[in-house]
Amino acid sequence: MRAEPSNRSADVAPPGVRRRQRLQWIGLLPILPALLIVLGLFIYPFAYGLILSVHPQGALAKAGMLANYAAFFGDPRERLSIWNTLRLAVPVTLIDLAIALPLAYQLRRPIPGQRFVTGLLVVPMTLGTVLIAEGMIEFFGPAGWFNKTLIALHLTAMPVQLVHNYTGVFISLLIADFPAVFLVLVGYASGIDPNLERAARVLGAGWWQRLSRITLPLLAPGIAAAAALSFVATFSVFPSAVLVGQPAGETRVIALAAWQAAYERYDYSQASAIAIVMAAIELVFVALVLVMRSRAYRGPTIGGRA
């Protein structure tokens, strides 16, 4: 006579179940390398920087834990670096979104030349900011093709100053940041069932109603993701602020302020504090975007069962 399985005590798992549980643990092994990388390359440096930032060095050593932060916010020139960065990151993010959105929407389905155009739009990603900046100095410089064309067309008498100022950094970020925004949006846009717009159309919706009631709400999560990515990338701008900007003046961005603290004044503690401020601002922006996104619809973009 064998005991009924139901007579077993509930907390003693049968061998088969225990084996499955063991296998579940083994199944988690593949994420271990990624976990170690996140711990070693992100969590640890971040924690280290945070601790460093609340242990001021040099003149501020006795001024309390928050002395570095007080010094940063107390100095108008340092404080200005936040504004200098925001006034690049916010418009660049918005303009890239505005350009990428209609393009991504048009290119969401295979159309003739779609691969080519998509490829072309993604090229800046492979160049990197330094290469873009160097190209810009040539192209947009006083003797570059752009100014030569303007002068030849009698649109201007003197070369227009387009590099080594705010405009230079602005253009370079616009170019460098576009591919990521575009790719994220294309991903979301191509996931939207084309029948939804057709259904809306047959039900009497004109183009604006289809856009505002169907397409944009369904794209909202993608817009949020692209905005967050773009803002974080542009807010940490560094090379182009130096190469095509005016690093001592209007493009003295927050990353530059941190760099100067670390490598001109050798105050790692102060530099860490600035980096933490930078991270905090990025976090606030991402949180803001995520809150807005959670208010928009989050779910499948295909009606019914495809």
Closest CB 203 distance from another protein, rounded Å: 4
Closest CB 96 distance from another protein, rounded Å: 25
Is 225:100 a contact under the CB 8 Å cutoff? no
Closest CB 100 distance from another protein, rounded Å: 21
- CB nearer another protein, residue 102 or residue 300: 300
- CB nearer another protein, residue 122 or residue 211: 211
- CB nearer another protein, residue 15 or residue 204: 204
- CB nearer another protein, residue 214 or residue 275: 214
* Pick from 141, 133, 176, 143: nearest CA to 162: 141
Distance in angstroms (rounded) separating the CA atoms of residues 188 and 185? 5
- Structure token pair of residue 279: 């991270």
Is 218:244 a contact under the CB 8 Å cutoff? no
Distance in angstroms (rounded) separating the CA atoms of residues 177 and 99? 12
- CB nearer another protein, residue 86 or residue 205: 205
Closest CB 147 distance from another protein, rounded Å: 46
Q: Give the position of tokens 């944009």.
A: 216
Closest CB 10 distance from another protein, rounded Å: 32
* Pick from 104, 124, 301, 262: nearest CA to 183: 104
Q: Which residues of 14-23 are buried (b: 16+ CB within 10 A; e: fewer)?
A: eeeeeeeeee
- CB nearer another protein, residue 1 or residue 202: 202
Count of CB atoms situated within 10 Å of the CB of 121: 19
The site for another protein (CB under 8 A) is made up of: 193, 195-196, 198-206, 209, 213-214, 217-218, 297, 299-306
Angle (CA) 291-86-119 rounded to 5° is: 80
Closest CB 192 distance from another protein, rounded Å: 9
